[in-house]
Chains A and B, each alone.
Chain A
């Protein structure tokens, strides 16, 4: 990815909750800096509470950093920028009172797409995620995997250059996330979007990403960035390749100590159940 133009520039971003000096003050992120190139897929991985999601929200303008700044295509992020950035959330944020297609269209209405264009665009993005036959279903009638596909369709319908995904598959079972991961890789290779993808899963991070950024335990700092040199779309054979295993093991080494650190902080270790 070297030589590609930088789209997202994260510049010394820190985030703290609570006033300085307050004993309950929590520093979630500490001077994180990253550059993300156009068309790149970057995974953020780290122990829980390390500020991955906070960082994603800051990039998307849903949170304001305590210090530092994020620029997207040269402009400083000051609030949500729906024309440039779309989100896929971990929780199901499909509006349960609307059908799948109406959910996709509502997103466009929020973004300001003219009414006449919404239907075609919604159909198209639902087709892209494989939900063409479920447009008139309500979210409650869909399985967990289908709900996440519908959320992805809603984000794609916004036709933004950047897609931010916050553990989109965390609530799904392993087999569903495997299939969704493969489909996502195909889809994303086709659209050429710039993507930041937060995940807990080592394999998922390696399988999908061009680069994996590893965060330390709280306060989150960027510990290391690993490159995955593999063309998109990734085939299922990549999943079983020694290359993926090696990268996964490297991530495991990097993360292991950090995860222990957070567990000790929260008193979850002792008798190990692992």
Chain B
């Protein structure tokens, strides 16, 4: 209880500090707009449909990228995990590629797919692919040997072994990969839109910044932040539900 109070107090202190900083003589309003107009603009965003076209673009890119990445990641992960040798060949390969900041590919994607949705979908898919494939491999190839031995001793055939033992044992790990993929797809699409784009939430924020409409811009940032937090919450919830569903 007192913990919540402390946290609330800190949040209020931050808001107050923000307000005080923007009083005359403080930070220039172009760099830090006062909180009240920001929240007013945020209210306008929520109650009007002006943001919908850009929101739609971003969401469509995100959903497409996530679907592509999760399909490819699960499929390739499954194929690799079928042989221990393939795991030893490909797991370090994927892990190594994962340590290259994939955002570097974005200029190439811009060249290949243009400024529109294509390049965002491509970067989102690339970045989301790795957590999905790595977790699928990890989940399926590191199932506790004792379960497999027990199932074999009871006469399980390979289909039964896969569906009744491997899948349920690996599922939580794969689900974590999907959750991470879902979130990084969203973040990298926002990043791509910020760097170079024609439409979408990131594009909207950049053009507001270029027009020096900082209080509008802050309202839109607030919108994106709220969206990221909601997505995070929803995906974590879905992960927890999915785990239980399989138990």
Contacts and interface: CB of A to CB of B under 8 A. Distances in A.
Interface string B124-159: 000000000000000000000011011111111100
Nearest to B168: A97
3 nearest A-B residue pairs (beta carbon): A82-B155, A93-B150, A110-B156
B48 interface: no
B165 A95 contact: yes
Contacts of A97: 168-169, 171, 246-247
Which of A62, A97, A154 counts the most chain B CB atoms within 10 A?
A: A97
A34 interface: no
A154 B171 CA distance: 24
A111 B155 contact: yes
Given A110-B151, A110-B164, 8 more contacts: A62-B153, A80-B152, A80-B155, A86-B154, A95-B147, A95-B169, A97-B171, A97-B247
B160 interface: yes
Nearest to A92: B146
B154 A158 contact: yes
Nearest to A103: B150
A110 B247 contact: no
Contacts of A87: 150, 153-154
A96 B153 contact: no
Nearest to A158: B154
A60 interface: yes
B155 A110 contact: yes
A82 B165 CA distance: 17
Given A87-B153, A110-B156, A110-B160, A93 B147 contact: yes
11 contacts: A62-B153, A82-B154, A85-B153, A86-B153, A93-B146, A93-B147, A93-B150, A95-B169, A110-B151, A110-B160, A111-B155
A89 B171 CA distance: 24
A154 B155 CA distance: 13
Nearest to B171: A97
B240 to A, nearest CB: 14
Nearest to B150: A93
A138 B149 CA distance: 21
B156 to A, nearest CB: 4
Contacts of A109: 160, 164
Contacts of A96: 247
A82 B153 contact: yes
Nearest to A111: B155
B172 to A, nearest CB: 9
A138 B154 contact: no
A161 B148 CA distance: 22
A5 interface: no
Contacts of A111: 154-155
A49 interface: no
Contacts of B155: 80, 82-83, 110-112
B164 A80 contact: no
B246 to A, nearest CB: 6
Given A93-B147, A138-B247, A62 B164 contact: no
Interface in A68-89: 80, 82-83, 85-87, 89
Which of B155, B160, B247 counts the most chain A CB atoms within 10 A?
A: B155
A91 interface: yes
Which of A60, A93, A138 counts the most chain B CB atoms within 10 A?
A: A93
Interface in B147-189: 147, 149-157, 160, 164-165, 168-169, 171
A85 B149 CA distance: 14
Interface string A98-141: 10000000110111100000000000000000000000001000
B150 to A, nearest CB: 4
Nearest to A63: B149
